[in-house]
Each structure stands twice: as structure tokens, then as C-alpha cells.
A and B are shown apart, each in its own frame.
Chain A
Amino acid sequence: MIASELLAQAAFLDGREPQSFPFFGVERRGAPVTAFARIDDRPIQLRTSIEHPDVVVVLDPGLLHTTPVTDGLKEGGLLLVNSRLPPEEVVAPASVRRATVDATRIAVAHGLGTASTPIVNTAVLGALAKAAGVVTLDAVQRAIDQFVPGHRPENRLASSDGYESVRLAGPMEHGAPVLAHRLTPLITVPEGPLATRPSSDLHTAAWRTLTPVVHLEKCTRCNFCWKFCPDDAIGFDSNGFPVIRLDYCKGCGICAAECPPRTIEMVAEA
């Protein structure tokens, strides 16, 4: 959301006509969100969501496994992913150019956010300036100076690092029809006003940055982890040991904090 706003501000500083707005869905800490930006040389009258973008930017690589992010992306369009993988390893539809930048590493190196919740916006915008050429790096850095409330030197350096280190690859020879194996079943909207599906049809694994790992040798089977879980994401095996249901765990860490013998460890996702 902030990245799309900053992109629009940078485009404005470049003398262009930008527009930026979020998609109003579930705005929850960790929940996947979508934001749009349009950039043109003439004033933009269109006020709708973007269904066929030229560029898709993915800030959280975990989304590649849960969300069809390239749906609607134009032929010859660009997919930029925050990922440590080389762009050749990003699975995308044929005709889509791919780019990756390890914005998480850059953000952590500059002390932006924490290792579990890095603030990757400025590193990604630097990469976008290079990979898509829709704004200049200079404008991105001037936008940082004007609109980012804190850590300006660090954010400027992160944008430069993103600009320098972004890697590009052409389209796949045999592109995949969908981005990746889809974990979340797409919901078909029923007729009528009633909500008829259980929320457990929706997986919330993508919200997580830390994953609980239970060290069973120390577990006393006291049930505290189960009792305090706000997501009902903990069950038991036939011997009464806790089993974390990772499709639903949001990684809040309450189970680890409340476990009396401290048998649960919160581990950063790979």
C-alpha cells in the first residue's frame, strides 16, 4: 500500500500523472493486500481497479504459492518478485518477463523493520525503477525524502541496492498456465445473500512470518497451546501431543509464549 503510494509520488516528481489506491479487502496485520498504481503522461480519468496490469509487483514471495498473482497480466508484461531466487526460477505464464530482487535481505541489512517483518517497500521500488523504467531512481529517492517518516538515509540506500541488484529474465520457454501450485481453493460465489461456506475453506498460512515448531520430547501435554490459540490452529494426535495445523496458523506466537515448559519455538520461514 505504502509502496504504491510512494511509486505514485515518485512518478509525480518525474513530472508525470500518477494515481494510486488500495483494494479494500481485509486489511489485517499479515493478511495479503493489493494496491494499484497508474502512471501516464496525461491526466488519468479512469477510476477503476486494474484488471490488466503492465507490471505486477509481489512483496511477499509466499503469495506465489497461494494467490494467482499474474492473473490478467498483459502479454509481455513484467512480474517483479521480492525473492532470493534467480528470476529464471520464478514460474510464470509464457510471455511474461520476470525479475527478482532480494529486498528482504536489503531491508534487514539497512535495519528497516525486523528479520520477521522486514519493510521492503523502498528496496522493491528501486528494483522497479530499473526493471520497469516507469520512474527514475532519483525520483524514488526524492519521494523517500519527502514522504517517508523515518530512516530516510537507510531507505535511500535500500532503493539504490534494489536498483543495482535486481535481476531480469525473459519469458519462460514453456510457460506455466498458472503461477504455481495453488494451496487455497478459489471460492466459487454462491447465488444469494447467505454466507454458506466455512471460513476454513480459506487458508491463512500466507499471513505467517514465524512458524511454531513443537519439541515433543519436552511436551507435558498440558493443552495450554490449544487453549489459548486464537485461530483454533492446534489439534492433538492420538497420544495427546499437539499438532499445529499449518494451513491456518498465522504465527502469532501465543502458543510458544504460553507453553509452561517452553517446548514451542518460533522459527523464521525459509
Chain B
Amino acid sequence: MAKLTIPAQELMYSGHAACPGCAAALAMRLVLKGLGPRTVVSIPACCWTVIATPYPTNALGVSVFDNPIESTGASLSGLRAAADALGYKDFHVVGFAGDGGTADIGLQALSGMLERRTNAIYVMYDNEGYMNTGVQRSGATPQGAWTTTTPVEGTSRGKPEAKKDIMGLVLAHRPTYAATLNPAFPEDFVRKVEKARDLTGSRFLHVFTPCPPGWKYSSEESIKLGRLATDSGIFPLFEAENGKVRITRKGGALKPVDEYIHAQGRFRHFTPEDIQAFQAEVRLAWERLLRLEKESL
């Protein structure tokens, strides 16, 4: 048997309530592989609160703390203070929140936690919408995408606004560590989790998690879509240690975005001009990232 390239330990149990093909479920499995059992996970209202804890069961082999949607960041500061007061050493305080609970509703608490330099790891799993409540748009929904609140009918042609740059917002706080992770690249994913684990201070992980029912594609394509997103430059993989940016996957020339767009029902209405505009934004963001890598200190 080939050597395992990621840790064997499993701290996410089967039988959880994620949809078939859910990349956010795989993301949790990989995060816990990297962190190990000395961990408490704080979960706000999001898909994962339903996935993890249909009463009276728990899908995680670690402690789970359920908190309100806007307060993940604050809960991490509190949990860390409690762990310190109790003298818990090598104990990982982790938030696991969706993009809505992070980039929209939980932004204030996240900013506060980063400002306080809370010694904790904040994971944002990004399925680009309020998927748990039935696919409403969030600040992290990409421009043009169909959601139930940005329909494609009448005068509406999907979400008018661009996706929020959550990594930009986080990096402005200069955390100890921030990185983008994609479960389609499990080795890079776990390496970054382990790196975050071994550092002290505020750490932020932005995880790309394709969503079959929300993005309207067939469940077996979750990994393929993740790979396409990174290889097309839509979700570049990079990390920033104390503000110094390094791109962790550069596969030569970026793929055109077409294949990624055509694979998803939420972009079905895109015209060739829409794809061109999407492509132009992706290229621009990629160039900004390359410059950031060169110039960041």
C-alpha cells in the first residue's frame, strides 16, 4: 500500500448530516487530521452546526461549542481565556464558520479577535452563500452567480456585486498566519493546518468548499471543481506569515475559467461576454496577488 500522505487519524465520524459530496465535510475531516484531539471547535449557525450535532449525537471526536452566528470570533477569545485559566497546554481553540457567518454577520467579532491577537485558529469554510438556509447570496458569493435571492429572471441576472475579499480584510489586521486552503489539494491543506497549529497568535484559514446543491452540479465533481478553481486562478493557494505573502501553488499558465463556469448550474445563464468579464476580474486579482507576493514584507 502506498504511504499515506496525510495523517491516518480520523476525528470526524461517519453518519454526520452533510449532503453527499459536501466539500465542507471533507474540510473538517482534514482540519482535524492536522490538529489532533486536543482541540475545541466553536461552530456558529451554519451548515456545520447541523452536520455535527443532530441531538444527541456529535460527529466530531473533539469538544464542540455551539455559538450564535455573529460571535465565533468572540467565542474564540473566551474559550482561549478559559483554556489558559485552566492551565490547558497544547490545546487548540478553533472556530469553524461559514462565509456568511464570517465575512458578513460575524465580521465584527472576527475583527475584534484579530485585533486582540487572540491565540486561536479561525477557519472560514467558503461555500459562497447561505447554503444551510437554502442558498441565499452572501458577501462571498461570486459576481453573477445565481442564488435564490439573486435569481436569473426578469431584470435580475444573478448577484450584481463582486465577491468580498475576505483574505484582504484579514491581512489588514496582520495576523500571525493566514492562508487559503482547498480540500482538492489535501497535502497542501494539511501542511497549512499543521503550520497554523504550531504557531502562536491569531491564525486564519480560508477554505474553499464547493457545494453540490448550492452551486448546482453533480456531487462527484466537488474535487474536480476545487482543482479547477485553483488552477484557473479563481481560488489561488497562498499563505501569509506575519504579513509576508507566498503563493503555494503556481502551476504555470492559468487555465481559462470557462471549464469551471460551465460545470455549474449557478452560472448557466452566463453569456460569452459574462465569462470574459469574469475572466478579466480573475486575471486582475491574480496579478495583484503576484505583486503582493513580490512586495509584501
Is B121 part of the binding interface, using a Cβ–Cβ cutoff of 8 Å? no
Collect the chain B residues with CB atoms within 8 Å of residue A250's CB: 19-21
Beta-carbon contact of B219 and A253 below 8 Å: yes
Shortest beta-carbon distance from A32 to chain B in Å: 11
Which chain B residue lies CB-closest to A114? B218
Is A270 part of the binding interface, using a Cβ–Cβ cutoff of 8 Å? no
Beta-carbon contact of A197 and B50 below 8 Å: no
Beta-carbon contact of B56 and A257 below 8 Å: no
Interface size on A, residues (CB 8 A): 48
Which chain B residue lies CB-closest to A238? B1
Shortest beta-carbon distance from B133 to chain A in Å: 10
Is B242 part of the binding interface, using a Cβ–Cβ cutoff of 8 Å? no
Assuming the contacts A29-B213, A189-B56, asked whether A227 and B186 have C-beta atoms less than 8 A apart, the reply is yes
Beta-carbon contact of B1 and A248 below 8 Å: no
Is A84 part of the binding interface, using a Cβ–Cβ cutoff of 8 Å? no
Secondary structure type dominating chain B contacts: loop
> Pick the contact of B15 from A203, A230, A266 — CB < 8 Å?
A203
Shortest beta-carbon distance from B93 to chain A in Å: 19
Shortest beta-carbon distance from A133 to chain B in Å: 35
> Pick the contact of B219 from A194, A248, A252 — CB < 8 Å?
A252
> Pick the contact of A227 from B5, B17, B20 — CB < 8 Å?
B5
Interface size on B, residues (CB 8 A): 43
Beta-carbon contact of B13 and A200 below 8 Å: yes
Collect the chain B residues with CB atoms within 8 Å of residue A233's CB: 14
**How many angstroms between the C-alpha atoms of A256 and B219 in the bound complex?**
11
Collect the chain B residues with CB atoms within 8 Å of residue A199's CB: 13-17, 52, 54, 57-59
Is B241 part of the binding interface, using a Cβ–Cβ cutoff of 8 Å? no
Is A171 part of the binding interface, using a Cβ–Cβ cutoff of 8 Å? no
Shortest beta-carbon distance from A238 to chain B in Å: 10
Shortest beta-carbon distance from A173 to chain B in Å: 37
Is B31 part of the binding interface, using a Cβ–Cβ cutoff of 8 Å? no
Collect the chain B residues with CB atoms within 8 Å of residue A208's CB: 20
Collect the chain A residues with CB atoms within 8 Å of residue B293's CB: none
**How many angstroms between the C-alpha atoms of A233 and B59 in the bound complex?**
13
Is A154 part of the binding interface, using a Cβ–Cβ cutoff of 8 Å? no
Beta-carbon contact of B12 and A251 below 8 Å: no
Collect the chain A residues with CB atoms within 8 Å of residue B21's CB: 230, 250, 252-254
Shortest beta-carbon distance from A26 to chain B in Å: 5
Shortest beta-carbon distance from B145 to chain A in Å: 19
Collect the chain A residues with CB atoms within 8 Å of residue B218's CB: 253
> Pick the contact of B1 from A31, A232, A240 — CB < 8 Å?
A240
Q: Which of chain A's residues 215-270 have a Cβ closer than 8 Å to chain B?
A: 220-223, 227-233, 236, 239-240, 245, 247-248, 250-254, 256-258, 266
- B-side residues, CB < 8 A to A, are 1-2, 4-6, 10, 12-23, 25-26, 29, 50, 52-59, 61, 64, 183, 186, 212-213, 218-224
Q: List 7 A–B pairs whose Cβ atoms lie within 8 Å, in order of A's numbering.
A: A29-B213, A30-B20, A189-B55, A198-B15, A230-B18, A248-B15, A266-B220
